[in-house]
Amino acid sequence: MTDTWPELPFAAWRDTADTLHMWMQIVGKTRLALAPMENHWWQVVLYLTPRGLTTSPMPEGTRTFAVDFDFLDHTLIVRTSDGAVRTMALAPRTVADFYTEYRETLSALDLPVKLYPVPVEVERAIPFAKDREHKSYDAEYANRFWRVLAESDRVLKRYRGQFIGKASPVHLFWGAMDLAATRFSGRTAPRYSGAVMNCPISVMVEGYSHECASCGFWAGSDGLPEPAYYAYAYPEPKGYGERKVEPAQAYYHTGLREFILPYTAVRTAASPDDAILAFAQSTYAAAADLAKWDRQALER
C-alpha cells in the first residue's frame, strides 16, 4: 500500500511542486497555441502515461508532435511524426532556463510555436523568461506525485465509466495542476461571475458554460496545504455543503466551497480505490439530487 500510494507531504516538496507547476504550464501552453478548440478547454490538458504526463499529439502544419514528462528517467521528450526526437533533463534549474531551452528545442525541430509567456491561475504571475525564483526539482517527490496521479487516474476512469451522459476525460489541468473528472447534467449554467487569479473571465465562462459536478486530485495549496481529493458542483445547489458524503473523513471546506477528502485518509484506507469511488459517487449524488438531474437517463 505504501509503495502504491506514497506519502506526499505538501511542505516537503512545495518548492518542487511550484517549479514543476510552471514547467507544466509552459508545456501546456503549447497545446493552447496549437490544438483546435474544444468545449470547456479540453484541448489544452495533459494526460497520464505509464511514465509521466503527455500532451498527446498536437498538429503543426502537416506534422504532429507530442511532449512528454518522464518521471522515471526524469526527462522531457519531444517526438515528431517524422521521427525526430529531442530531450531535456528534468533537474534543478530555473523556470527561465527551462523556458529558454524548451523554446530552443522546439525551434531545432522546426516547430514555430508562439507561446503565451505568462502563467495563469497563480497569485504572482512571473513571466517565464524572468522567473529565476522557482528552481527546485526533487526527483523522488516528482515521481511520487506522478504515482499518485497515475493511481487516481486509474480509479477515476472507473468512476467515469458509470456515467453515460456528457463527461470529460480524466485529465490534468495545468492551470491549477489538478487532475479532474467532470460530469454534466446536459443543461446550461448561469454565466460564471466569479474571479480566478490571473485568468481571463472568458476562460472561466467557457469552462463553466454548463451545469456540472466535478471531482479530482490536487497536491495542495496555500488555502489547503495538504494533498487531497476534491469535489464541487457548478452552480452549487442549495444545501450541497450540508449533505453527508463518504467516506467518514470527507468534509465540506467552506472557504473553498468544495468537499475535501485528505489524501492521507485514502492512502491509509483498507481500500484506497473504494475510498475514492465512494467520495466521487456520494458528492456527485449530492449535486445531482439537489439540482434534480435526470439520473435515470444519465447513469449506466
Q: Which amino acid appears at position 145 of this protein?
A: F
Q: How is residue 235 written as a grid cell? A: 452552480
For strand 178-188 and strand 171-173, is the pairing parallel, antiparallel, or unpaired?
antiparallel
Q: Where are the domains of the chain?
A: 10-130, 150-298
Q: Quick: pLDDT tens for 222-264.
A: 889 999 999 999 999 999 999 999 999 999 999 999 999 999 9
pLDDT of residue 1: 41
Q: What is the pLDDT of residues 85-135, one digit of tens each?
A: 999 999 999 999 999 999 999 999 999 999 999 999 999 999 999 999 999
DSSP assignment string, 241-296: GGS--SSTT-EEETTTTEEEEEHHHHHTSS-HHHHHHHHHHHHHHHHHHHTT--HH
pTM, to two decimals: 0.97
What are 277's three cell numbers?
469511488
48-82: pLDDT as tens digits: 999 999 999 999 999 999 999 999 999 999 999 99
pLDDT digit string, tens, across residues 190-233: 999 889 999 999 999 999 999 999 999 999 998 899 999 999 99
The total of other beta-carbon atoms located within 10 Å of residue 173's CB is: 22
User: What stretch of H or E contains 174?
Assistant: none
